[in-house]
């Protein structure tokens, strides 16, 4: 069962992944992004993270915020993970540059509208720990992508 107390953290994951996508695409054209495999797969991974975070939101939360395109977000994640060979670069580019910034603003508005008491287990210390974990996960993801793209010679 999905835990409603964790919804806030999942929303933060969406915002953070959106920030990563913005950083990875800033100053790049679609062609440049496609040529830079490390950046390209970093964008793919962060779109996947957004989809996974949306999938892991509690059903109650998604029903309460039914104006959000949760199913589309989750389907995009499924395509990237399971149909990776069918990824259309134009669709990924559209998602990264248009859809994700809109989603980020919508999620930020939801987060800002939530009363602090909605997440009693989210203390300042947990937020700090979460930031440290996010940094470690990000570094690990980059190292994994590098290893996948530029494997060491045997």
Q: Is residue 65 among the annotated active site residues?
A: no
**Cα 138 to Cα 106: distance, rounded to the nearest angstrom:** 23
Catalytic residue among 6, 10, 12, 77: 77
List alpha helices for the chain, DSSP H: 7-25, 30-35, 37-56, 59-64, 70-82, 89-94, 100-113, 124-149
Q: Is residue 82 among the annotated active site residues?
A: yes
- Radius of gyration, CA atoms only, the chain: 16
Residues with active-site annotation: 77, 82
């Amino acid at each position: 069962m999905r835990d409603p107390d964790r919804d806030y953290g999942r929303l933060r994951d969406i915002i953070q992944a959106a920030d990563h996508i913005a950083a990875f695409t800033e100053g790049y054209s679609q062609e440049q992004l496609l040529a830079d495999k490390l950046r390209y797969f970093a964008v793919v991974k962060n779109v996947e993270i957004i989809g996974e975070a949306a999938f892991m939101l509690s059903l109650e939360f998604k029903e309460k915020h039914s104006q959000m395109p949760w199913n589309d977000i989750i389907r995009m994640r499924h395509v990237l993970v399971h149909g990776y060979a069918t990824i259309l670069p134009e669709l990924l580019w559209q998602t990264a540059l248009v859809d994700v910034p809109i989603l980020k603003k919508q999620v930020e508005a939801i987060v800002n509208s939530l009363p602090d008491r909605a997440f009693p287990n989210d203390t300042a210390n947990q937020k700090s720990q979460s930031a440290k974990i996010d940094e470690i996960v990000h570094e690990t993801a980059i190292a994994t992508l590098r290893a996948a793209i530029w494997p060491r010679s045997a």
